[in-house]
Chains A and B, each alone.
Chain A
Amino acid sequence: GAGVSQSPSNKVTEKGKDVELRCDPISGHTALYWYRQRLGQGLEFLIYFQGNSAPDKSGLPSDRFSAERTGESVSTLTIQRTQQEDSAVYLCASSPSSGSWDEQFFGPGTRLTVL
């Protein structure tokens, strides 16, 4: 496909379980970002990857959150021991690079509900 894809589109889990969210960026995009959008709020930056550089993890809210990226392709966001406050839409975006002007293209998001 031409755009950023994310899976699953919806995930319902029980408190305490681990979840993995997947992002497939646009082919050739070296920068990849994860954001979180809580209900009725704006997007919060979580983490970003740029090529082979060390990822910027400054937005991760706790050590229960981690993310990996394989080369310049797929990324996985993992949340361990999920809590109810983790319920949100998790959005992934990719851009050709991480320059301040490079449009970020967003995926449709994964809606996570923690019961």
Chain B
Amino acid sequence: GEDVEQSLFLSVREGDSSVINCTYTDSSSTYLYWYKQEPGAGLQLLTYIFSNMDMKQDQRLTVLLNKKDKHLSLRIADTQTGDSAIYFCADISGNTGKLIFGQGTTLQVKP
């Protein structure tokens, strides 16, 4: 079945860029998503990319998609302590709307 994999932990200094990587197996994925989960808060959609795009930029966030290698990354520029959270990569299963999530990457931002 479909699978989504992420590295589990990333630590950066405040002001640096963070890059969170994700690989997926479903070649028919139409959309890929990044969700953010903060302690005590619900899961929040951060950004998404359509599969016919290579890159999407949204303020401090840049999403890169390499469809050939089935590799997705999220770059956060000028990382702040408020960016500390767990980041989940997800793709859509077929056209059902079911999200397939990675294990989540814990981003730790040190002052």
Contact = CB atoms under 8 A, between A and B. Distances in A.
B42 A42 contact: no
Contacts, number: 66
A101 B51 CA distance: 11
A-B pairs, 10 with minimum CB distance: A98-B97, A42-B101, A106-B43, A43-B101, A100-B92, A42-B103, A106-B42, A45-B98, A108-B42, A100-B30
Interface of B: 4, 30-31, 41-45, 48, 50, 88, 90, 92-104
B30 A101 contact: yes
A59 interface: yes
Interface residues of A, number: 30
Contacts of B44: 106
Nearest to B98: A45
Chain B interface SS verdict (over half) = strand
Contacts of B102: 42
From DSSP, what is the main secondary structure of chain A's interface residues? loop
A99 to B, nearest CB: 7
Nearest to A108: B42
A73 to B, nearest CB: 18
B43 A91 contact: yes
